[in-house]
Amino acid sequence: MTNPSDSTGSGTSQELSTRGSAGPSELQTSKGNTTIADSVVQKIAAISAREISGVHDLGGGTARAIGAIRERIPGSSQSTGQGVAVEVGERQAAIDLDLVAEYGVSMVELSRAVRRNVISAVEGMTGLEVTEVNVSVNDIHLPVDDEEGAQEPRVQ
């Protein structure tokens, strides 16, 4: 079972290298250069990571707490890129994700799916070659957490 996943990962890397070498040439042409801001890659990565079933939230405990406070302030913008750090060059991008997983989900499968989706979205939308996506699972969301919130309104 380890070998098929390794070969799939190797094939994906080879595919990314091939795609990546074609993509950057589209950003730098004889007619001009296109630059992609870090915040653009950050938002794309955050949205594509959240699309994966099993990802409860992005960010560490402090980032999520600040995000919860920010949501309650009228007129404030929610940080879409919370839990995502990126380094963007002229042709390549590296992405670090901090996420909270749903309880019971395979961390290996979750990180593999998140990595695949983030790479696909960032490379497809920006033309940048994604050199790495580091996934850090720093918490697990328990179904009990939701039940506690549901019980509070019943107590008067």
pLDDT tens digits, one per residue of 57-102: 998 755 445 555 555 656 545 556 789 999 999 999 999 999 999 9
Highest-confidence segment of 16-30, 108-122, 131-145: 108-122
3-state SS class at 28:
strand
pTM (2 d.p.): 0.69
**CB–CB of 115/135 below 8 Å?**
yes
What's the CA gap between 149 and 156, in Å, rounded?
A: 14
**What H or E segment, with its residue span, contains residue 57?**
strand 55-58
What's the CA gap between 146 and 55, in Å, rounded?
A: 15
Q: How confident is the model at residue 2 (pLDDT cuts 50, 70, 90)?
A: very low
pLDDT, residue 15, reads 39
pLDDT, residue 82, reads 83
Domain map (residue ranges) of the chain: 2-145
Q: Which residue, chain included where needed, has tokens 């042709």?
A: 91
Residue 108 tokens, joined:
């290996």
Read off the amino acid at residue 32: G
DSSP annotation string for 74-136: TTPPP-TTTTEEEEE-SSEEEEEEEEEEETT--HHHHHHHHHHHHHHHHHHHH--EEEEEEEE
In this predicted model, what pLDDT tens digit does every residue of 4-51 receive, in sequence order? 444 344 444 433 343 444 444 588 889 999 999 999 999 999 999 999
3-state SS class at 137:
strand
What's the CA gap between 58 and 136, in Å, rounded?
A: 10
What class has domain 2-145? alpha beta
